[in-house]
Structure 1
Amino acid sequence: MEPPPPPPPTTSQHGLIAAIDLGTKSFKLLLARAFPRGRLLALARLKEPVLLGRGRAADGSLTHEACLRAIAALRSFSLALRPLRVSLIRAVATAAIRSAPNRDDLLSAVRSVLQFQVDVLSGEDEARLIYLGVLQFLPVFERTILVVDIGGGSTEFVVGNEGKVLFATSLNLGHISLTEFHEQNGKLEDLRSYIRAVLDQSPLVEKVRELGFEIAIGSSGTIRSIERAIFLDGYGESMSRDFVREWKFSKEELVSLVEKLTSGDLSEIEATLRFRFSKRRREFIVAGAILLLELFEALGINNIEVSGYALSEGVISEMLANNHLDYDMSANARWRSVVSIATRFDGDDRMKSAANCVGIAKDLFDGIVRLDDHVDDQVHLHETDFEYIEAALLLHNIGLLMGKKGYHKRSYKIIKNCGHLHGYSSEEIELVALLARFHRKKFPKSTNDFLEELPFEMKQKFRALCVIMRISVTLQKCQCVTSHVLEVLPTEEGFQLVIGSLKDHLQVSHGIQLTLAVIEAELRPELNHFEEVFQRKMTMLLS
């Protein structure tokens, strides 16, 4: 009997999408992978400091040196993207380029040298895209939220509900421009007075009071740095406390931080070491913190939550909405909560390798489910069960942030106790945590005490999901297998895992030459576990 053909990969499932943000302080490149219904996973971020707002001419024009830095930054992005199969890409420019009288000269040079088409966003469009980005990070789709994004040249504000922008505006108050104002005037009270004057001249305060909001959310690097400084000031750098971190702060905590930054008791170097500001961030953090405190006062903000996503993710979200009919902006608060935890504990290339594991596991899982006539009824899997593997793979290595030894056990504890897996039942959280716990080391027995908290149906599925996950992790560790090269076929004894495109069947990893025999040896224990669970053999063919 001819096996059914595998479903063709689609852009919505596996596509690479890139967004480039030409900001005032720095240019940023975000490379993400798209999943069904508009879910996205950030794979890589590149950042180039350009400081377009520094040293402008009297009429506000960008200097020749700033334009050269901009071209160089975009050239580096172009080189990074060239070998990748990126299906969608968009570059957007914000305040510094938006307000520059000579912006057309820069954009023309970008087009001629790099073949980049850059969209210059209005302040309102920038605020709208930031709102879309926040919706990809926090489960706040159905709530009325106020988003504040402090950039280098401007600050964007948006009040939104259910994906609709109720009000959006941009004010020429940025941490770089305000730092320059302070350097010229010298007094912090003059800086505060200037900020208040700009707010008084804007309809922002009146409009926000008229519409109201349930939650205030900050989405910029400045606000994320402030949140981290407040956290470190309260707890130090204890990683054991970080997994219960709320990613929010109160007005009182912000007041305390501003007092410490402006009192003169701490030198710039002491403040940098204490609050872990980056070298580039520390130059502008005082102006950013004072601006945020004035916004708290004017807009009646008592607490603010922090989003890890902003403009770049909003750009990608809009591209997905415009190109995929199955896009759902409100989809999957569960997914966003998983991604936010994974992002919080990201380090080195962990998110990238986890995403590759997800792609491998998806091909393997789909092949098994598609051929479910060959699977024992006791471990029958549904398509929806893959969500548990997906979540566990994105979170399985978060314990590495606190060291390698026993990291799988720390991953279990973080997932179980963090309190931020929104939309999951306690049993589902336990299942995801256990999958992360048993992705390595001893394979769990069906009588394992750890399984006592799971309902009967989940107990039946757990070991099946676990072995699929372990095979995927093992293949990813070989660093010569990616998604799109796996196929599961039926055999008389069960299944055959066909692996192709092995990079000429040779790969060097950590100084060890990985031959086909080594790959088979690595995978053999997991294939034995597969046979134990499914009562069917899984053989491997390397094509």
Structure 2
Amino acid sequence: MIPSRKTVQSPENLNGLYASIDLGSNSFRMMIAKVNYLATGIQFQTIDTLRDTVRLAGGLNQDNELSEESTTKALAAILRFGDRLRSFSPNQVVAVATNTFRVARNAKKFIDEAEKLLGFPIDVISGNEEARLIYIGASYIAPMCVGKRLVFDIGGGSTEIIIGDGHEPKLLESLPIGCVSFSQRFFSEGIIDEENFKAAQNAALKEIKAIAPFYRKMGWEQAIGSSGTARAIAELIALNGLSGEPHNLPVEETGGIITRHGLELLKKNLLETKHIERLSLLGLKADRKPVLPGGLAIMIAAFEELGIEHMEITEAALLFGSLHHLHNQSKHGANTKKKGILKTLFNAIGKQENIDTRYDLIEQLGKRFNVDEAQFKRVSQMADFFLDQLPTFKKEDRKNNRKLLTWASFLNEIGLAVSRADYQKHSAYIISNADLPGFSRLDQARLAGLVLGHNGKLNKLPISPGYIDWHLLFCLRLAHVVSRKRENSALPLIKVEQNPKGFKLKISKAWLEKNPFIQFGLNKEASDWKKIEWKYEIELF
């Protein structure tokens, strides 16, 4: 465990800033974050980051001592970190050192010098403590999950595998296999062939096999990759078209997913180049190239032995886990807020009792851009009313879709803060690029797609026939049309239907004749759908 420290409230930490430092075997990373108090807990908003690829594990000699060259480079990085943190107090900073410092014989000498340069204590944590903090961090920032999740983190010198439920780890292990150590051990000359890749994969399999039965017995509903290796692999798969069918959303490629198929295609690319220096892939960074083969071999071995088919990716979990640990120690004080408008409305609709933390994040983002809450209520209630009338399709997650529709209703106008012209494009851009912990990359892209398409001409949207959210888009657009006056006047009963060829709505003829503005909007909406070859019928009664 990280030792507890006596903390003192100081003027510096009243600004809500905290710093987390991870002295890893491949990279040294620092994150400065602001703590936001939400109705459902706390959220760390990243303010600044620093990263140095020191590859410290590569500086271990045969006697497990850090070389002078690697030590000099590593201490230079820590000096920069220390300079950035000069105004911070001790209860604002947590620094942990991982696998290389656990095995290096001269680690204490290094840590003593590093603490002087950094200005704060550095804790060399055990493999199990590293795994615990990784899981805690992932549990707060990974895509939402009902049930247990597996978190898999390939570091430079070790790999942590954890199963947990909620924010609590249940089963955890730290294995002595890492992307730096394996790349040096099996691909030291940069040569990549069937023989040495198989040897690396088998070595990883041997370690994972020893613990796999316990993990398979416990089981999980979601697999998460949290390391730099996992993120790099997911990006390479996405950017180089190795992931199979596209997601068919009207926004950029989401990435953030690792599949068995993608791993095999990436391995094929490596083997065909025969040497790491000749490897040319979109998105492959120079500092990642030397350690990619070892990391990929470990990832493939894990998928094979643990039976993983699909893995989502999240940010550096150890940094976030350390921040939550530090914040819990500091006893910063309870800071509760009243229930937000999103959760209040959702409970009023009566769709779900347990509200997830993503509601607070969406509300925070919307309020940053001065969302019109009264208009949101009108649009959201109407969109939800329309969705209730449509059939639930096979394999549709209606609960999650209802949430997406509510959030899209809340955020669709945030682009007005940039410009009235094409504001939906600005709204979608903001959502696509916002930090939204708890969202999968796919759901974040779907949310941006709904906001982009909620208004304007449909034939200008780059949506393929396989787009999965047509019915949600229909509900959101119709709600936008009938609520466009921004008045709380009574609306007539509007019935909607969906069939394979399109949509149909039934509305009072007498009421429409008294509301020509909305009548014009509905006729235009029907015309827009017909331009993309969807039937849109308005039946008057």
TM-score (norm 1): 0.61
**Pair 395,46 (structure 1): closer, same or farther in 2 beyond 3 Å:** farther
User: 1:238, CA displacement in angstroms?
Assistant: 13
Q: 2:304 aligns with which of 297, 300, 319?
A: 297
Q: Distance in 2 between matches of 1:417 and 1:166?
A: 33
User: 1:181, CA displacement in angstroms?
Assistant: 0.7
Q: Residue 32 of structure 1 corresponds to which residue in structure 2?
A: 33
**Pair 50,244 (structure 1): closer, same or farther in 2 beyond 3 Å:** closer
User: 1:111, CA displacement in angstroms?
Assistant: 2.5
1:271 and 2:286 matched = no
Letter in 1 for 2:26: K
Q: Distance in 1 between matches of 2:448 and 2:195?
A: 53
1:453 and 2:480 matched = yes
The answer on whether the counterparts of 2:250 and 2:449 sit within 8 Å (CA) in structure 1 is: no
Q: 1:173 aligns with which of 177, 182, 190?
A: 177
1:333 and 2:357 matched = yes
Q: 2:110 aligns with which of 96, 102, 106?
A: 106
Letter in 2 for 1:453: H
The answer on whether the counterparts of 2:161 and 2:174 sit within 8 Å (CA) in structure 1 is: yes
Q: After superposition, give the CA deviation of every residue in 1:461-511 in whole Å (9 maximum; x if it has no partner).
A: 9xxxxxxxxxxxxxxxxxxxxxxxxxxxxxxxxxxxxxxxxxxxxxxxxxx
Q: After superposition, give the CA deviation of every residue in 1:392-434 in whole Å (9 maximum; x if it has no partner).
A: 5998699x9xxx997854233457899969999x999978999
1:312 and 2:319 matched = yes
Q: Distance in 1 between matches of 2:318 and 2:447?
A: 35
Q: Distance in 2 between matches of 1:337 and 1:138?
A: 13
Name the SS of the counterpart of 1:213 in structure 2: coil
Q: 2:160 aligns with which of 156, 181, 186?
A: 156
1:50 and 2:74 matched = no
Q: Distance in 2 between matches of 1:432 and 1:15?
A: 34
Q: Residue 472 of structure 1 corresponds to which residue in structure 2?
A: none
Q: 1:519-534, aligned counterparts within 5 Å?
A: none
User: 1:55, CA displacement in angstroms?
Assistant: 3.4
The answer on whether the counterparts of 2:146 and 2:221 sit within 8 Å (CA) in structure 1 is: no
What are structure 2's unaligned runs of at least 5 residues?
1-9, 337-353, 379-405, 434-438, 456-475, 489-541
Indicate the larger mover: 123-132 or 50-59.
50-59
Letter in 2 for 1:31: I
**Pair 103,423 (structure 1): closer, same or farther in 2 beyond 3 Å:** same
Q: Residue 259 of structure 2 corresponds to which residue in structure 1?
A: 250
Name the SS of the counterpart of 1:58 in structure 2: coil
Q: After superposition, give the CA deviation of every residue in 1:50-81 in whole Å (9 maximum; x if it has no partner).
A: 22112322221111222222221111011122
**Pair 235,67 (structure 1): closer, same or farther in 2 beyond 3 Å:** closer
The answer on whether the counterparts of 1:62 and 1:102 sit within 8 Å (CA) in structure 2 is: yes
User: 1:258, CA displacement in angstroms?
Assistant: 0.7
**Pair 269,410 (structure 1): closer, same or farther in 2 beyond 3 Å:** farther
Q: Residue 411 of structure 1 corresponds to which residue in structure 2?
A: 426
Q: Distance in 2 between matches of 1:317 and 1:278?
A: 30
The answer on whether the counterparts of 2:254 and 2:442 sit within 8 Å (CA) in structure 1 is: no
The answer on whether the counterparts of 2:90 and 2:120 sit within 8 Å (CA) in structure 1 is: no
Q: 1:321 aligns with which of 322, 325, 328?
A: 328
Letter in 1 for 2:186: H
Q: Distance in 2 between matches of 1:117 and 1:11?
A: 18
Q: Distance in 1 between matches of 2:360 and 2:309?
A: 25
**Pair 40,429 (structure 1): closer, same or farther in 2 beyond 3 Å:** farther
Count, aligned residues: 397
Q: Distance in 2 between matches of 1:287 and 1:157?
A: 17
The answer on whether the counterparts of 1:27 and 1:48 sit within 8 Å (CA) in structure 2 is: yes
User: 1:39, CA displacement in angstroms?
Assistant: 0.9
Q: 1:4-83, aligned counterparts within 5 Å?
A: 15-36=16-37, 37-83=41-87
User: 1:245, CA displacement in angstroms?
Assistant: 1.6
Q: Residue 522 of structure 1 corresponds to which residue in structure 2?
A: none
**Pair 271,264 (structure 1): closer, same or farther in 2 beyond 3 Å:** closer
What are structure 1's unaligned runs of at least 5 residues?
1-8, 340-353, 370-374, 380-386, 436-448, 462-543
User: 1:115, CA displacement in angstroms?
Assistant: 2.5
1:120 and 2:155 matched = no
Letter in 1 for 2:130: E
Q: Distance in 2 between matches of 1:458 and 1:200?
A: 66
Q: Distance in 2 between matches of 1:394 and 1:85?
A: 40
The answer on whether the counterparts of 2:127 and 2:174 sit within 8 Å (CA) in structure 1 is: yes
Q: Distance in 2 between matches of 1:222 and 1:264?
A: 20
Q: Residue 270 of structure 2 corresponds to which residue in structure 1?
A: 261
**Pair 258,427 (structure 1): closer, same or farther in 2 beyond 3 Å:** closer
Letter in 2 for 1:250: T
**Pair 417,125 (structure 1): closer, same or farther in 2 beyond 3 Å:** closer
Q: Distance in 2 between matches of 1:293 and 1:219?
A: 15
1:286 and 2:310 matched = no
Q: Residue 479 of structure 1 corresponds to which residue in structure 2?
A: none
User: 1:44, CA displacement in angstroms?
Assistant: 1.2
The answer on whether the counterparts of 1:176 and 1:284 sit within 8 Å (CA) in structure 2 is: yes
**Pair 241,409 (structure 1): closer, same or farther in 2 beyond 3 Å:** closer
User: 1:294, CA displacement in angstroms?
Assistant: 1.1
Q: 2:228 aligns with which of 221, 231, 238?
A: 221
The answer on whether the counterparts of 1:18 and 1:89 sit within 8 Å (CA) in structure 2 is: yes
User: 1:285, CA displacement in angstroms?
Assistant: 1.0
Q: After superposition, give the CA deviation of every residue in 1:329-379 in whole Å (9 maximum; x if it has no partner).
A: x9843168769xxxxxxxxxxxxxx99x978979xx9xxx9xxxxx9xx99
The answer on whether the counterparts of 1:16 and 1:85 sit within 8 Å (CA) in structure 2 is: no
Q: Residue 511 of structure 2 corresponds to which residue in structure 1?
A: none
Q: 2:135 aligns with which of 131, 155, 160?
A: 131
Q: Distance in 1 between matches of 2:269 and 2:211?
A: 29
The answer on whether the counterparts of 2:33 and 2:47 sit within 8 Å (CA) in structure 1 is: yes
User: 1:220, CA displacement in angstroms?
Assistant: 1.0
RMSD, aligned CA? 4.9
Letter in 2 for 1:213: W
Q: Distance in 1 between matches of 2:194 and 2:164?
A: 33
**Pair 57,218 (structure 1): closer, same or farther in 2 beyond 3 Å:** same
Q: After superposition, give the CA deviation of every residue in 1:200-236 in whole Å (9 maximum; x if it has no partner).
A: 3563212111211111111111111111111112289
1:88 and 2:115 matched = no
Q: Distance in 2 between matches of 1:79 and 1:165?
A: 35
Q: 1:182-261, aligned counterparts within 5 Å?
A: 182-184=186-188, 188-197=194-203, 199-201=205-207, 203-234=210-241, 243=252, 245=254, 247-261=256-270
Q: Residue 384 of structure 1 corresponds to which residue in structure 2?
A: none
Q: After superposition, give the CA deviation of every residue in 1:285-335 in whole Å (9 maximum; x if it has no partner).
A: 12211211111101111111111241101111222233345489x984316
User: 1:165, CA displacement in angstroms?
Assistant: 1.0
What is the percentage of aligned positions where both structures have the same residue? 24
Q: Distance in 1 between matches of 2:414 and 2:278?
A: 34
Letter in 2 for 1:295: A
**Pair 358,338 (structure 1): closer, same or farther in 2 beyond 3 Å:** closer
The answer on whether the counterparts of 1:338 and 1:394 sit within 8 Å (CA) in structure 2 is: no
Name the SS of the counterpart of 2:56 in structure 1: coil
Q: Distance in 2 between matches of 1:460 and 1:430?
A: 23
Q: After superposition, give the CA deviation of every residue in 1:75-105 in whole Å (9 maximum; x if it has no partner).
A: 1011122256896110000111121111111
The answer on whether the counterparts of 2:412 and 2:427 sit within 8 Å (CA) in structure 1 is: no
TM-score (norm 2): 0.61
